[in-house]
Homo-oligomer: A and B are copies of this chain.
Amino acid sequence: MPAIPRPIDPLAEAERLCLARGMRLTELRRRVFEIIAASPRPIGAYAILDVLRDEGRAGAPPTVYRALDFLLEQGLIHRLASLNAYIGCPHPAERHGGQFLICRGCGRVGELHSGLVEATIVAEAAALGFGVETQMVEVLGRCAECTAAVPA
């Protein structure tokens, strides 16, 4: 899923945004964010907890979930409901609902970020009188590399 470029330095971007918003990117939150950003695939809360424990840090599930809640609120990460896993956001500066392409082959996830998809959903929902607040699109399939690797 390399089609979409990541920010040069996700951590620096996260620090910049938190500073601008007056939010505290503490040591724990920063470390959880780094673990997610460093993972090539979506990572689960308990896998993050394992990493923290390997580093000698004390920790129980709430330790991780509180950090995840903060990062989600700040839009620095997304939660993939279909996988119960978390992924860094490549463009956290603009708040947005998530649109994800999940590859069945390699497990990597790309973010679609299509204004057209978003607008179409809003319009179709509005036609039914439904007011959209947040939207979540998760698409399962095969990425270009995996399609090339296993030709039909």
Which A residues have a C-beta under 8 Å from some C-beta of B?
A: 1, 3-4, 81-82, 99, 101, 103-104, 110, 112, 114, 116-117, 120-121, 124-125, 128-144, 147
Contact check, A112 vs B125: say whether CB atoms are below 8 A apart: yes
Which residues of chain B are within 8 angstroms of A4 by Cβ–Cβ distance?
A: 128
Write the nearest CB–CB distance from A44 to chain B, whole angstroms.
Answer: 14
Tell me the dominant secondary structure on chain A's binding face. mixed
The distance in angstroms between the C-alpha atoms of A144 and B138, with both chains bound, is 25
The distance in angstroms between the C-alpha atoms of A128 and B141, with both chains bound, is 12
Which residues of chain B are within 8 angstroms of A99 by Cβ–Cβ distance?
A: 121
Contact check, B147 vs A142: say whether CB atoms are below 8 A apart: no
Contact check, B141 vs A125: say whether CB atoms are below 8 A apart: yes
The distance in angstroms between the C-alpha atoms of A131 and B140, with both chains bound, is 8
The distance in angstroms between the C-alpha atoms of A146 and B124, with both chains bound, is 18
The distance in angstroms between the C-alpha atoms of A137 and B141, with both chains bound, is 15
Write the nearest CB–CB distance from A10 to chain B, whole angstroms.
Answer: 21
Contact check, B130 vs A142: say whether CB atoms are below 8 A apart: yes
Which residues of chain B are within 8 angstroms of A139 by Cβ–Cβ distance?
A: 121, 125, 130, 132, 134-136
With A137-B135, A137-B137: A120-B116 Cβ-Cβ less than 8 Å: yes
Contact check, A128 vs B81: say whether CB atoms are below 8 A apart: no
Which residues of chain B are within 8 angstroms of A104 by Cβ–Cβ distance?
A: 133
Which residues of chain B are within 8 angstroms of A110 by Cβ–Cβ distance?
A: 128, 130
